[in-house]
Each structure stands twice: as structure tokens, then as C-alpha cells.
Structure 1
Amino acid sequence: MVKKYVLVSGGVISGIGKGIIASSTGLLLKTMGLKVTSIKIDPYLNIDAGTLSPLDHGEVFVLNDGGEVDLDLGNYERYLDVTLTRANNITTGKIYRDVIERERKGDYLGKTVQVVPHITDAIQDWVERVATIPVDDTGEEPDVCIIELGGTVGDIESAPFVEAMRQFQFRVGHENFALIHVSLVPTIGTVGEQKTKPTQASIRDLRGLGLSPDLIACRCEKTGLDEGIRSKISMFCHVKPNQVLAVRDCNSVYHVPELLREQGLIDFLWRRLEIEQSVTISPALKEKGTEMWKKWNQLTQSQERLHSSDEVKIALVGKYTNLQDSYASVVKALEHATLSLGKKLIIKWIEGSDLEPETQTSNPSKYHEAWKDLCDAQGILVTGGFGRRGTEGKIAAAKWAREQKVPYLGICLGLQIAVVEFARNVCGIEGANSIELDEDCKNAVVVYMPEVSKTHLGGTMRLGLRPTEFQPGTENSVIRKLYGGGSTVLERHRHRYEVNPQMIDQFEAKGLQFVGKDETGQRMEIVELADHPYFVGVQYHPELLTRPLKPSPPFTGLILAATRELEKYIKAL
């Protein structure tokens, strides 16, 4: 089968939005009936994203197979409604490890192993191999592979990948390879003059490396691109005016696919990649794609119609709130739930440490602001995270939610925090804590999982898609009903610690019910508090499987409870 490849590169600055444009391009092609997959290239030397700090690189996204990958793969899965593998995230570390292992085995037959051709060949081989892996329920090979090249063109780390892609365009043929370059057109000064020099310089660097863009996606402010500016970019960057796309700032990233479609992205790629002549499109997939686009439009239109009366305030209590990309999937899950229910999301970002008494002494205004935001919120979400900092603040937030009957959702550490708080303040267990937070605690409510390595951090946690089984007698559980009433749910995990199974009877005797456990019945997966509007903790990460058109049930429950519509919703199921 002929495979089509669309490479998305970026220039001028990092974080320019390549991931959203790559995802949007894939979505548009999928709405035409094509089967689409995606690959993210990250030029760092890490084997994967698992050991990276969220404050350094944003959220670590986890896949079904347990792969810890870049957050952009989350965008791909959400936009395309596909299931990717760890192989869909290429890093310099993976490529070099692969080549060195082959050299040690003697695969290169005594040759001097070099960046060119051995590293560049390994990159191309990896891309071609992964591009054939089925990613949806058809079980068929994809027609198109979207490749996002991380970093900025000109970075020394990206050089082997740029060279590999330069070679790759000839390897697969001109009609099978298209390049979208994302650049920045800044507006300078009070007169609002748009400047094209950064884009010109970026394209010059790209062409000097042997790659010529077919489309230039120009990030710009809400006014879009002036026609004179578009013509100037066209003239100096060797493309036609219709190949210069204005990607203006939108109210929501969900509008980007419509923006690209309006400017003819589909029509251009259709001709440029000769899709009509070389790809057979299934009528069933074509119809499915049309329906997908219709629902997407309904989603964006309904978002535009929301008013202040539809607002719902959710307090997100975390420890990486200075970089909101640390919680990218959590935010998306909240957005998907609110949009599906016709609500307008307002997130109150609260750093866990700001809720602690020490902050009241060192920075009283920050302390009182954090508590005001918590008290004003209609729902409280305590997220995952590692380390001790801010955990006492999270415990205080869980206590407030429990005592004041404020809807609460705890994710991973958020579940463990809720159990620790309950052990201390309801069960009266002195010194109750997690050994992650205090190794010498008197009563370890949360313990290290016995099978997890304590010496190696990368890829050693409990990772990937795993089953959670609802326990007998939980038919009336709210969270079970939100999941559809079945006996088992599949969700993605990423954790090293678990609730101490030896203490479960004490908690359940006081009303904290562990309604979901793993297949062995020994590991606690879902906790639910009796006599509360909505108090749920989950050991897994439900945000990793959310979709714009299929929101995550625990998040849906939080929004429903926050707007006092949960009981009505449950009765209608």
C-alpha cells in the first residue's frame, strides 16, 4: 500500500503549536475517510519522558502499552480517536540505543558506525515501521502518517532527524511526502505592524538543510494575516499565497481544524499527495468521517454559545501549577466534560503548598487567596504528582471537600491523599501517612507496591491499561453507574504506591467504600464516600482516555455534582 507522510516542523520559538496543528491536520484527513496515525520525534537523549519533570517538559502521557511519552501524543489520540504505542514516540535516546545494540551484535559487519548513514537510516526505518501499525478498530494499516518534529529547526539536537527527513522525502517519493512548517509572525509596537523576518529566517534555515515547505502555518494574533504580509511571505519563502496559512489565536484549540479547513488545507494536501489516484477510501469510513466532522462542528458551536450563567468553577489543587501543561490531559478532561454538559469551565489553579499553615506565615496574601479560591469552588480536583511538597495542602483540600460536602475527585495521589485524610480525621489513626511522604510514619496508610523497583525510576512503575473490577454489592455506586453499570472498566495507570490493603476494613467500617479493586482484589482502585454528593478517588488516570466527543465518566460526575445535576442525570441513565 502506498503510504502518505506529512511532516510538521517548527521555527522561531519552541511551543509554537506544532502539536495542535499536526493533530488538526490528522483530524481533517480522517474526516475525509482516511486512516491516520501519528509519530512524535523528540530530540532529547532520554529514552522516554518518564523521568522528566512536569515543570521541565509538561505532562508525561501514558499509553495503553505503558509507554511514557510526550504530551503531544495525548493530543493525537484525542483529536484522531486512535490508540498509539510507545513506538509512536521517537527520541534520540531510543535511536542511539537501537543503533548501539545492533553494533554490539555485529549487524554492521565491521563498518564504522556514523550519524550518516546509520543513525539517519535507523530513524527512517523506525518511521516506516511504525507507520504501518493499525491504530483504530479497523485493524488496517493507516493511509497517512503525520510526523511532528519536536524542537526548533536549527537546534543542534534536531540535526540528525532533519537530515533523516531530507533523505526520507526521496526514499518515499515526492508525491508521498508533504511538509508543513509552523512559524511565528509577531506583531510589534503600538501600531500593530506584523513582521515577517523571523519566518523568512526560519524558512531559509529549513531550505538550507534540504527541506522546502509545502505549507507555511503562520501563528499570529487574532487579526490574522494582512494580505500584504501573506504576499511578502509567499515571495520570500518560495511558496504561492494559498500555501501560507494564517493560524490566528482562537478562543479554543478546538477551532483550529475549522480554521485550517477554511483556508484549503485539505484541498491542497489532496492534490499535493495525489490521494485521489493512489488511496482507496472506504465508503463506510468516509461516512464515519463526515459524521465525525459534524459532531466536531457542533462541539465548537456549542462552546461559542456558552454564557457566564453556564459557568462552573473547579479548584485544581496541584504542585506543578506554574506550568499548566503539567496537567494538559486533566484540563482537557474537564473541558470535554463541561462541553458535553453545556457548561463553561472556570479553573481555579491552586498550588497545594499555598494552602498550608507555613504559607500563612511567610506569605499571608497568597495563603488567603488560595483558601478563598478553594472555598468559592463548586468542585475540587486533587491531581497526581510525586514528592512531599504541597501534600499537606492537598490533604487540607480533601478535608474541606469531605466536611463541607463539596464534590471531590482525587486522581492517583489524590485518592491516596483522601484516604490519608480520612484515616487521620475520621478513623483517628495517629500518625497516618503515606511512606512516600514520610518513610518513618507510625501508620502507613499508603505503602510501596512490592513488585516495583526502588532503585530505577524509568519505566518501573505500574503502567498502562489495566482492569478495575467493581466489587459485589456496589450496584448502587454512583461512579459505577457513571461508567455504565458494568462490572469492569479499563483505565491507564502510573503509580508506585498503593493504599495499604491491611487497613481497608477500618476505613470501610467508617463509610469509605473501596468499590473498585484490581483483578486480584488486593489493590484498591476506586474509593467512594457514602453520604456525600460526590466524593470519588481513582488510583488510575482517567484523563488519559478522555476524548472531545467521549468525556471521561469520573470528570463528568464531578461537573454534574458541582452543578447539582448528578442525581437527575443518574436517574435518566
Structure 2
Amino acid sequence: MKYILVSGGVISGIGKGVIASSTGLLLKTLGYNVTAIKIDPYMNIDAGTMSPTEHGEVFVLDDGGEADLDLGNYERYLNVTLGRDNNITTGKIYREVIEKERRGDYLGKTVQVIPHVTDAIQDWVERVAQVPVDESGEAPEVCIIELGGTVGDIESAPFVEAMRQFQFRVGKDNFALLHVSLVPSINGELKTKPTQASIRDLRGLGLVPDLIACRCPHALPLSVTSKISMFCHVANEQVLAVHDVSSLYHVPLLLKDQGLIGFLRNRLKLDDVRIAESRQARGNKLLTMWKDLTISYDRLFDKVSICLVGKYTSLQDSYTSVIKSLEHAAMQCGRKLQITWVEASDLELEAQHDRPKEFHAAWQAVCTANGILVPGGFGLRGTEGMIAAAKWAREKKVPYLGICLGFQIAVIEFCRNVLGLKDAHSAELLESTPHPVVIFMPEISKTHLGGTMRLGLRPTVFQPNTEWSAVRQLYANADVIWERHRHRYEVNPAYVQQVEKAGLAFVGRDERGERMQVAELQGHPYFVGLQAHPEFCTRPLNPSPAFLGFIAAAAGVLPEQIKRQANYEPPHPKAHLHMENRDVPQVEVVTEQVAKVTVA
């Protein structure tokens, strides 16, 4: 196993995740199987209870793990299926160590950070690195490890020490360190001092960088590269300039052009790892497709405008996977994506008096968009604005996509304004509502929040006589599809018959036919809601069908895209079969069309 550690310095949020993912992608183009691990030094067990506006999106995995958004980058770039153990946190490590201590596993020893915590970290990395992550079922040859935060943070100290020890545990030829640092431009002058200080701190902790990836606004001149080389004690070719580019899809090719592949081949003796010719051919094909992707992206001129009506728009990272899903779908439709961000509360009537400028700007964005998207979220704030946006989309025949909360919002709006159920609402948002069209799921804990929702990969069964459904056609007319879920509330079954009779069809349900999971309005260009989060399974070269249909409808090319989807295959549809420790439901699906379909 070859390990590549990606660390960061100066400030966080400078692109370690994208650089780590791009490095893994380049190794995949050589035919290697690549996995990834993200280390987050916070005390939380996982990201599930963290605010999106503080930490960004909570990314959900097949096994129900709630993880850092960088795991989404890994899955999209590497086209792999990761699990909760691919995200290490301080909380997870300390919980494991304390549980061992309580069992007496340490045989009376005084439990300390060194060696017990650092050993637990290393053991975890080695164990998870061996888990197959793609459809081949084969163990990876390369593991990318991203260390969150910045070097020198007090909370990351045990992980840095663990990695210092780890380089000797696995051997020099099997461990490389890529350090990402910021080279800011001050009045047009590129400053190297922050990078020098960051490398000095790193060396003081016992880690020596093999590569320094310099995040900078533009390409580094030779004089700056030489200065970093001299004062950071590395060769010129070990300094990479990761400058701003037109899209993040260019980053792998930018690294390739600067010799990253050649350096890692020599440094890690990758040529000693034998790769089958079929895998090499697959890697060459991947490189060609990625190049074509970046070229086509740069040549897009026709635009499609999407209005995203959300609750956490103050931090756009809250919707990272949604943005990527829209981008991937727009590229396949040959359109350049334009997103207009609308804070949902700005659409509400109170804003007309309190914030008239924001109110009119928000409604202008809604009224002029080619499509309206309402993503997931929690809590009452802004939901009336979301309902107003859904009403506009339904009445004005504007393509609409509702995800999780957005799906429930569409049902609430339909019940209020089509069925005439005044004050219909969700029991989550308004317990006193006379018409609780969305209710709490009975099996969900009301006392513990972390990891207690309906999480992970779940099946959706398309109902009989739904061949007309655009969503079903986009999924290649499948009987059963799999998407990832993250919710505590569901549509109230007591209102389903009434809603469907009025025209909003629940074309997709759970395996028992009891939970509503896909809604589609008949006679509308594209008015769709999904209880699941299809954005978590999108890929640059294989967009999420639900998002693809939304963008295609907004661009006026839905029929063409439906034809193209005839051969759609979900990303690694059998990947979960190789995940022995994954909490993936084994279900029996019974419908009127299919007597008995067993889905593993």
C-alpha cells in the first residue's frame, strides 16, 4: 500500500480536498485503485450535528455515515464509494480508545496520547485503506490521506504525531507528503514568508514535505519558485503552482503538467506495483474523458439560470453537492450554469417591509430563472418563502426540483393551494397545524440527534403505471433505484390518496410502498421532488438523473436527454455488495408489475 498524506498550512479552506482528489484521479489514470481518508481533528463523532453555516455541507455516505464534504470530492473525482470509517475524527478515536480502556484491553497500562491514541490512528488508517471502494472488489494500491485544518493547530497535534510515526511504520518508499500552502499576492507581489513559516512548523513536528503545492492567484514565476525551493529545502520540481483556473476540473491536468505523476512514480516506486493491462487501458480512457470534459466546459456559451432558494446561503459550501450536481448536469446539456442565490426568508411578505431591497431582488431572481431549486434543510425559518417559490414554479410552469425539505415543501404548497387545506404544514415546522401533511417518522429518536435519522443508501420502487414519469425515464425506466437519504420526517400517508387524485403523483415509494420518496406533477414541464438526496451520487462524467432532468427541462432539451439516458447506469451499482460492514438494507420489493424482485 502506498500512502500520500496531504497537509495544509497558513489557513484552512485553500483547496486541500480538491488537490487530494486530483492527485488520486491522476493515479487512477495510471490504472491504480485509489481510496481516500479524511482526518478531521474536531471532537464531534461525525459532522451530523454540525451547522451547515459553520462547517459546510454534511455529506452522507452509502452506509449512513455523516461526513465532511471533502468525502464528496473524493467520491466524485475518484468514482468510488466510501464509508463512515473513511472519515476519522478525534471523537471517533477517543471513543475507541476509551472503550478499549473500559474493557481492560490495555492490561492496566496508563492510557496516554502516545502511544495509545497515536497507535489507534495508525491502526485505523491501515485497516480502512484495505477496504475495496469500487466495483472491482479489489483492495486499493494507493490511499490518499487528507489531514484537516492547518499544521500547528493544537487539536491536530495527535494526528500529526501519528503520521510522523506512520511514515516509519510503512517505510520510506510507501509514504509521501504533499503540503498545501498559501502564497498570497499583496499589492501585486507574491509573498513566500507564510509558506516558509508553515514548512518550518511542519519540519519541527517531524514531517518533511516531498511536494509543496502553492495556492496562488496566478502561475508562479521562476524567481518565486526558486525562493520557496531554497528556503524550504526542496528541489524546484517539488514546488507546484496551483493557481486559480476557470474550473476545478482543470486542477488534475494542472498538476499533471507540472510533473506530479512522474515525481510520485519515482518517489513511491509505483512501477513496482503490477497493474493489469485492462486497468491501464481503463486509466488511459479516464484521462481522455477528463481532458474532453475540461475542453467542453471551456467551450460552453449557452447559459441556463437556476435560482437556488435555500436557508444557508450565507455559506455556499452548505450546498456543495447540489452545486456540483447542477454543474455536471449542465455540462451534459451543453450549458454554462448560472446560479442565483436567494435566501428563502427574503421571499416572505415580512421582508417586503423589513428588507424591501432584498425582497424585490429575491423575487426578481425567482421570476427570471429558467429553473427553481429548493434544497434540504431543517427548521421553520424561511419555509414560507420556499413555499412561495414552489407555488410560483407550479403555477408558471417553471421547472422545479425539491430535495428532501424541498420535496416536503412542494407537497405542503400543493395541499394548501390546490387541495384547499388551509394552514397545511409539516409537524416539524408547526406542531399545531390542523393538516400535518408531513409527520415525524415513528422509529426515529426524539432525544438524540447524532446518527439517528433515516440515513444512507435506500431503495425507491417506481409504482405501476408510471411509465409516463420523466424521472423514471431518466433512470432508464428502472423498477428500483438507490439513492442516499437523510431525514426525520415524511409525507403523511393519510393525505396521499387526496394529493394523488389532484394530480401530484408519488411515482416512487419505499420497498413497502408506505413512504413517499418521489413526487411528480403530471402536465408540468418538470415539477419533481425527491425525499432522498440524489446530489450525493452525482459524478462529473455521470450526472444525477434527477438533476439532469431538471437542468434539461430548464434548458428546453429534456426529450433529448431522456433519450440519452436509455443506457444510464448508476455509479458503481454493485459497490455496496463489497462493503461487508456497511448498513445497506437487504430488501424484498413487491409490486403489481414485478411479482418479486430481490435487491441486494
Range class of TM-score, shorter chain? over 0.9
- State whether structure 2 residue 235 is matched by structure 1 residue 240: yes
Aligned pairs (5 A) from 1:121-520: 121-189=119-187, 192-222=188-218, 224-277=219-272, 279-307=273-301, 310-520=302-512
Q: CA deviation at 1:276?
A: 1.0
Give SS of 2:64's match. coil
Paired with 2:426 and 2:141, the residues of 1 have a C-alpha distance of: 49
Equivalent residue for 2:48?
Answer: 50
CA distance in 2, matches of 1:506, 1:138: 46
CA-to-aligned-CA distance 1:432-466 (integer Å, 9 cap, x gap):
10011101111100000000001100000000000
Q: Distance in 1 between matches of 2:108 and 2:560?
A: 72
Q: Which residue in 1 is equivalent to 2:27?
A: 29
Question: Residue type of the partner of 2:207?
Answer: L
Distance 1:134 1:570 in 2: 33
Give the TM-score taking structure 1 as reference length: 0.98
Alpha-carbon distance in 2 for matches of 1:547, 1:18: 20
| SS state at 2:3 partner | strand
SS in 1 for 2:181: strand
Q: Per-residue CA shift, 1:360-394, capped at 9, x if unaligned? A: 11010100000000101000000000001100000
Give me the whole-angstrom Cα distance separating, in 1, the residues matched to 2:140 and 2:563.
41
Give the direction of change, closer, same or farther, for the CA distance of 1:397–1:457 in structure 2 (3 Å limit).
same
Instruction: Tell me: CA distance 1:193–1:433, structure 2 relative to 1, closer, same or farther (3 Å).
Output: same
Identity of aligned residues (%): 69
Unaligned runs of 5+ in 1: none
Question: Deviations along 1:402-425, whole A, 9 cap, x unmatched?
Answer: 000000000000010000000000
Shift of 1:568: 4.0
1:546 aligns with 2:538: yes
- Alpha-carbon distance, 1:475 to partner: 1.2
Q: Figure out how many residues of one structure are paired with residues of the other and give that number.
A: 565
User: Does the Cα contact within 8 Å between 2:374 and 2:401 map onto a contact in 1?
Assistant: yes
1:502 Cα shift?
A: 1.0
d(CA) in 2 for partners of 1:125 and 1:388?
43
Which residue type is aligned with residue 206 of structure 2? G
Distance 1:82 1:283 in 2: 20
How do 1:45-124 residues align onto structure 2 when only pairs under 5 Å count? 45-124=43-122
1:92-141 alpha-carbon deviations (Å, 9 max, x no partner):
00000000000000000000000000000000000000000000111111
What amino acid sits opposite 2:284 in the alignment? T
Amino acid across the alignment from 1:241: N
C-alpha separation between the residues in 2 aligned to 1:350 and 1:200? 41
Any idea what SS the aligned residue of 2:363 has? helix
Q: TM-score, normalised by structure 2?
A: 0.94
Q: Say which is worse superposed, 6-15 or 559-568, in terms of deviation.
A: 559-568
Q: Is the 8 A contact 2:181 2:213 kept in 1?
A: yes
User: Could you list the per-position Cα deviations for residues 281-315 of structure 1 after superposition, in whole angstroms to 9, with x for gaps in the alignment?
Assistant: 111111111101111110100011112xx100000
Given that residues 518 and 531 in structure 2 are in contact (C-alpha distance below 8 angstroms), is that contact kept between their aligned partners in structure 1?
A: yes
**What code does the residue aligned with 2:244 have?**
D
Letter in 2 for 1:262: D
CA distance in 2, matches of 1:370, 1:204: 48
CA deviation string 1:36-83 (max 9, x = no partner): 000000000000000000001000000000000000000000000000
Letter paired with 1:301: I
- Check conservation: 2:333, 2:561, Cα contact below 8 A: no
Contact 2:549 2:561 in 1 (8 A): no
Aligned-pair distance for 1:263? 0.2
- Rounded Cα–Cα distance in structure 2 between residues aligned with 1:257 and 1:187: 23
* Aligned match of 2:595: none
Distance, in Å, in 1 between the alignment partners of 2:367 and 2:491 is 28
Q: How far 1:564 sits from its partner (Å)?
A: 1.3
Which amino acid is 1:257 matched to? Answer: P
2:524 paired with 1:532: yes
How far apart, CA to CA, are the structure 2 residues paired with 1:382 and 1:436? 17
Deviation >2 Å, runs of 4+ = 567-573
Q: Which amino acid aligns with 1:154?
A: G
Q: State how far apart, in whole Å, the 1-side matches of 2:467 and 2:392 are.
A: 28
Could you tell me how far apart the structure 1 residues matched to 2:444 and 2:396 are? 37
Write the distance in 1 (CA, Å) between the matches of 2:140 and 2:278: 15
Query: 2: distance between equivalents of 1:405 and 1:568?
Result: 19
> How far did 1:253 drift?
0.6
Cα root mean square deviation, aligned: 0.7
Task: Tell me, in whole angstroms, the C-alpha distance in 1 between the residues paired with 2:560 and 2:110.
Answer: 70
Describe the SS at the equivalent of 2:39: strand
For residue 554 of structure 1, what is the amino acid of its counterpart?
A
Distance 1:446 1:569 in 2: 33
- Change in 2 beyond 3 A, CA 1:570/1:142: closer
Per-residue CA deviations over 1:507-546 (Å, capped at 9, x if unaligned) read 0111010000000100000000011100000000000000
Equivalent position amino acid for 2:149 in 1: G
Counterpart contact for 2:333–2:557, Cα < 8 Å? no
Which residue does 2:513 correspond to in 1? 521
CA distance in 2, matches of 1:63, 1:282: 30
The alignment status of 1:39 with 2:37, answered yes or no, reads yes
